[in-house]
Amino acid sequence: MSVAANVAGCADVNDSSSVPEWASGCSKKSLIKECDCQYTAGGDAEAPAPDPASTTLATRVASAVPEATAAKPVESAPDAGSAAGGSCGAAKVDQLVGYGDGTTGGSGEPVVVKSCSELKSALKNSGVIHIDGQLSGCDIMEVPSDTTIAGIGANSGLTDSGFRIKKVSNVIVRNLNMHNPPKEMDLIDIESSTYIWIDHNVFSSEGITGDKDYFDGLLDAKRGSDFLTFSWNKFVDHWKASLIGHSDDNGSQDTGKLHVTYHHNYWSNINSRAPSIRFGTAHIYSSCYEDLPTSGVNSRMGAKVLVEATAFVNVKKSIITNLDSREDGFAVEKDNLFENSEPAITQEQEFTPPYEYTVDSADCICELVKAKAGTGVITA
């Protein structure tokens, strides 16, 4: 039976039905939800309204969604992207790549802020904001659509503060040193938002000590957020770093969304969630992981993850698909380096990222991102 016929057949399935022969690959507890997931390319949630400048990428994402079950690799979509490079330093350090492509941020003359009050005032409007210095105690601040926030130099950012990017689109955050969110909060919380680029920042807290729940995440995205790129960042000294999809019970909103690219990031002394992905589609490439005692990449609740050209050094459960959720995720690993770091992949489902990108080899990636990720590399 064709995929199109399977989609039509889904309408005849209910909770008391037996599993049809054509859906024998379905493994989720809810047959109806699994049927949607496997055969309608992402469930019944509405697709996000893309920014007009990014329609081409959104179309490519839709066309590149796999049509096969986990048992069969998926052929590349006709307009899917491809990887280039493979040497040290081949990727450009100041270029937006990935699912977040099309994000442009704010426009106009930059507003320079040197205090929390000035920053909060500037965030009342869209535009370009440059933070000069390390600001402390600003609490959680809402970021509007069409906004760029960037630090000046290598030592500008926030302490005991954070950003909430909620129900907006087209936001860029770059070159900030962000340390210690407010209690039980995130440094950056992305919720129900699209086209977000988080680039060349340092995210940290007090390390893997004390109460693991005192701080929440460093960089989280949830509730149907989509078209995200997180690049050239450093995630260090924290319990739970980066969560994509906040709940096993939020599939109706998250399925078919949460497309995120992580590339050229450095992860060190992180306990877990590096990242953790539910329901979404994540492409992780050319990154370095060092000294993660619990887990690294965690694919859950049917999420599809491709990890390539990445080095894992002393990372327990470096790539895992059956941790912390009631349903496994999918993961494919390609051209990675594992040193005292074993993956634990229970199921695979290949996909081709719908964009062109340049990888740097796993053999040299740690040296590269230690030097080129984080603050002080790009100019605001």
In a domain, 74, yes or no: no
- Residue 315 pLDDT greater than 50, yes or no: yes
- Residue 59 pLDDT greater than 90, yes or no: no
Q: Which residues contact 11 (CB under 8 A, 6 or more apart)?
A: none
Q: What integer pLDDT is reported at residue 43 of this predicted model?
A: 33
For residues 354 and 102, the answer to whether their CB atoms sit within 8 Å is no
Of the listed ranges 86-95, 232-241, 316-325, 350-359, the one predicted with least confidence: 86-95
Alpha-carbon torsion (317, 207, 224, 358), positive or negative: negative
In a domain, 102, yes or no: yes
Q: Same structural domain for residues 30 and 118?
A: no
Q: Same structural domain for residues 122 and 24?
A: no
In a domain, 160, yes or no: yes
- Angle, helices 31-39 vs 3-10, to 10°: value is 150
- Give the integer Cα–Cα distance in Å for 238 and 301: 24
Q: Same structural domain for residues 25 and 97?
A: no
**Nearest-CA neighbor of 331 among 352, 347, 318, 315?**
347
Q: Same structural domain for residues 316 and 217?
A: yes
In a domain, 45, yes or no: no
Which whole number is the average pLDDT over 65-89? 51
| pLDDT tens per residue, range 347-365 | 999 999 999 999 999 999 9
Q: Which amino acid is at 351?
A: F
Burial label for 110, CB within 10 Å (0-12, 13-18, 19+), is: middle
In a domain, 135, yes or no: yes
- Give the integer Cα–Cα distance in Å for 345 and 46: 30
Q: What integer pLDDT is reported at residue 61 of this predicted model?
A: 61
Reduced to 3 states, what is the DSSP secondary structure of residue 358?
strand
Which whole number is the average pLDDT over 281-309? 98
In a domain, 31, yes or no: yes
The better pLDDT of the pair 68, 219 is held by: 219
Q: What integer pLDDT is reported at residue 287 of this predicted model?
A: 99
Which whole number is the average pLDDT over 60-70? 44
Tally of CA atoms within 13 A in the half-sphere of 44 that contains its CB: 9
* Active site residues per annotation: 273
Q: Same structural domain for residues 118 and 238?
A: yes
Q: Same structural domain for residues 108 and 170?
A: yes
Q: What integer pLDDT is reported at residue 78 of this predicted model?
A: 30
Domain ranges, residue 27: 3-40
Tokens of 174: 């770059």
The enclosing domain of 222 has a CATH number of: 2.160.20.10
- Residue 74 pLDDT greater than 60, yes or no: no
- Residue 42 pLDDT greater than 80, yes or no: no
In a domain, 302, yes or no: yes
